[in-house]
């Protein structure tokens, strides 16, 4: 029997954030029938989808915000999300990650503190870059320090490439193909993986050894390349500097990964070779993919024999409960 599931990469748009996206991006979202309606509501339709796929608790977060949201819109958006959860039929079925003004490290730290302390959020899910800028500079120590102080994770989530970044994905094919290659078809996953490596190379995990980073989509390509990256970081051309801990140790201690939106067992087989099962968590990426696809994938995982019954419980909900300090809701909440 499939255990109850906690899913961590499940999306929403508040009015404040959605209105700030601009007509072009809003139009892109509207091209997918029903997508916007699913994104802007935390209510019975979402709960029904969860119930039909054994999702007991959903950690809700704003979807990607190309260009980065302002501090004012983040505050409004987080307040809207908290209110939407409180007004839902079963508030205990939801928790929340904050959206942050990632272009402003100090403002991001302040908003993270407010959301955790005042709204009860369990961390933040943030865009992977701010107009092409990753967060490896010392300016972002404000954000990492606040996350460590609060003992909450930061989920690095893909976002569309900046105009400069997007240039390398164009080729002898239609523009929509380039958009896919730069986004969910390839590019934005590799960019999250690159970001994690840059944080390591810049000494962020040396300065903040207790920092907790979550990445989705089966580890954003890093598990497959982890051993080679480790070798390059220690040997080739002098390595990546004198780090206090090697990359595999940082991977073991500071990085958690989710299964979001990757419905195959082959990636997980690779992951289990170099990643602690205690750091693997189920996720869906709703509504960009469906809870039903996630449930079917988990059933395949159960039948595969890759994990013991105890490990299946850990991936399904136990690891998320421990990391986020949340609990499965009571059966009466369904």
Tokens of 143: 């954000």
The reply to whether 172 falls in a domain is yes
Percent of the chain with pLDDT over 70: 99
Secondary element (H or E) of residue 296: helix 291-304
Angle formed at CA 40 by CA 178 and CA 293, multiple of 5 degrees: 65
**Which of 43-47, 66-70, 128-132, 165-169 shows the lowest per-residue confidence on average (mean pLDDT)?**
66-70
The reply to whether 334 falls in a domain is no
Rounded to two decimals, the pTM is 0.96
Which residues constitute the domain of residue 99? 5-328
Number of domains in the chain: 1
CATH code for position 101 = 3.20.20.140
Contact between 231 and 167 under an 8 Å Cβ cutoff? The reply is: no
For residue 291, what pLDDT is reported?
98
Rounded Cα distance, 136 and 105, in Å: 11
> How many other CB atoms are there within 10 angstroms of residue 26's CB atom?
14
The reply to whether 333 falls in a domain is no
* Phi, psi for 254 (deg, rounded to 5): -120, -10
**Which of 157-161, 252-256, 275-279, 280-284 shows the lowest per-residue confidence on average (mean pLDDT)?**
157-161
DSSP string, 84-127: HHHHSS-GGGEEEPBP--TT-HHHHHHHHHHHHHHH----EEEE
The reply to whether 188 falls in a domain is yes
Q: How far is CA 183 from CA 70, 191, 210, 224, in A?
A: 23, 10, 30, 19
**What value does the CA radius of gyration of the chain take, rounded to a whole number of Å?**
19
Secondary element (H or E) of residue 198: helix 187-201
> How many other CB atoms are there within 10 angstroms of residue 111's CB atom?
24
Q: For the purposes of burial, counting CB atoms within 10 Å of the CB of 330, is it exposed (0-12), middle (13-18) or buried (19 or more)?
A: exposed
Res. 247 pLDDT band, cuts 50 70 90: very high
Tokens of 192: 């999250």
The reply to whether 47 falls in a domain is yes
Region of 237 (left: φ > 0; alpha: ψ -120 to 50; beta: rest) is left
Contact between 37 and 289 under an 8 Å Cβ cutoff? The reply is: no
Rounded Cα distance, 31 and 106, in Å: 36
Res. 238 pLDDT band, cuts 50 70 90: confident
Contact between 135 and 159 under an 8 Å Cβ cutoff? The reply is: no
Instruction: Tell whether the model's pLDDT for residue 332 goes beyond 90.
Output: no
Rounded Cα distance, 239 and 231, in Å: 8
Is the preceding omega at residue 287 within 30 degrees of 0, hence cis?
A: yes
pLDDT digits (tens, 9 = 90+) for 195-231: 999 999 999 999 999 999 999 999 999 999 999 999 9
The reply to whether 203 falls in a domain is yes
Q: pLDDT averaged over the chain?
A: 95
Q: How far is CA 36 from CA 39, 53, 62, 144, 157, in A?
A: 5, 21, 12, 32, 19
pLDDT digits (tens, 9 = 90+) for 42-101: 989 999 999 999 999 999 999 989 878 999 999 999 999 999 999 999 999 999 999 999
Instruction: Tell whether the model's pLDDT for residue 274 goes beyond 80.
Output: yes
In the predicted model, what is the mean pLDDT of residues 231-237? 86
For residue 333, what pLDDT is reported?
66
Instruction: Tell whether the model's pLDDT for residue 162 goes beyond 80.
Output: yes
Give percent helix, percent strand, percent coil of the chain, each to the nearest 5.
55, 10, 35
The reply to whether 314 falls in a domain is yes
The reply to whether 238 falls in a domain is yes
Res. 24 pLDDT band, cuts 50 70 90: confident
Task: Give the residue among 126, 187, 197 at the shortest CA–CA distance from 160.
Answer: 187
pLDDT digits (tens, 9 = 90+) for 297-330: 999 999 999 999 999 999 999 999 999 999 999 8
Angle formed at CA 155 by CA 151 and CA 157, multiple of 5 degrees: 165
In the predicted model, what is the mean pLDDT of residues 169-180? 93
Q: What number of residues does the chain have? A: 334
């Amino acid at each position: 029997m499939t255990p109850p599931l906690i899913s961590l990469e499940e999306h929403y748009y508040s009015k404040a954030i959605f209105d700030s996206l601009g007509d072009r991006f809003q139009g892109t979202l509207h091209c997918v029938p029903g997508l916007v309606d699913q994104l802007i509501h935390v209510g019975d339709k979402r709960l029904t989808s969860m119930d039909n796929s054994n999702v007991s608790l959903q950690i809700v977060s704003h979807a990607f915000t190309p260009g980065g949201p302002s501090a004012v819109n983040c505050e409004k958006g987080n307040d809207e999300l908290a209110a939407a959860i409180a007004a839902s039929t079963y508030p205990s079925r939801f928790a929340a990650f904050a959206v942050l003004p990632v272009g402003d490290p100090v403002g991001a730290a302040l908003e993270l503190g407010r959301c955790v302390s005042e709204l009860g959020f369990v961390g933040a899910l943030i865009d992977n870059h701010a107009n092409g800028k990753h967060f490896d500079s010392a300016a972002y120590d404000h954000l990492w320090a606040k996350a460590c102080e609060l003992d909450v994770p930061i989920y690095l989530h893909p976002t569309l490439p900046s105009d400069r970044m997007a240039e390398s994905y164009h080729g002898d094919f239609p523009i929509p193909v380039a958009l896919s290659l730069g986004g969910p078809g390839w590019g934005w996953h590799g960019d999250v993986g690159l970001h994690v490596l840059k944080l390591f190379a810049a000494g962020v995990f040396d300065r903040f050894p207790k920092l907790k980073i979550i990445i989705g989509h089966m580890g954003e390509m890093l598990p497959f390349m982890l051993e080679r990256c480790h070798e390059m970081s220690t040997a080739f051309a002098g390595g990546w500097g004198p780090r206090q801990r090697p990359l595999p140790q940082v991977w073991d201690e500071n990085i958690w990964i989710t299964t979001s939106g990757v419905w195959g067992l082959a990636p997980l087989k690779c992951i289990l070779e170099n990643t602690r099962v205690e750091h693997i968590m189920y996720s869906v990426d709703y509504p960009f993919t469906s809870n039903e696809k996630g449930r079917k994938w988990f059933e395949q995982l159960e039948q595969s024999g890759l994990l013991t019954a105890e490990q299946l419980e850990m991936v399904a909900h136990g690891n998320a409960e421990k990391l986020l300090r949340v609990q499965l809701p009571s059966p009466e909440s369904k």
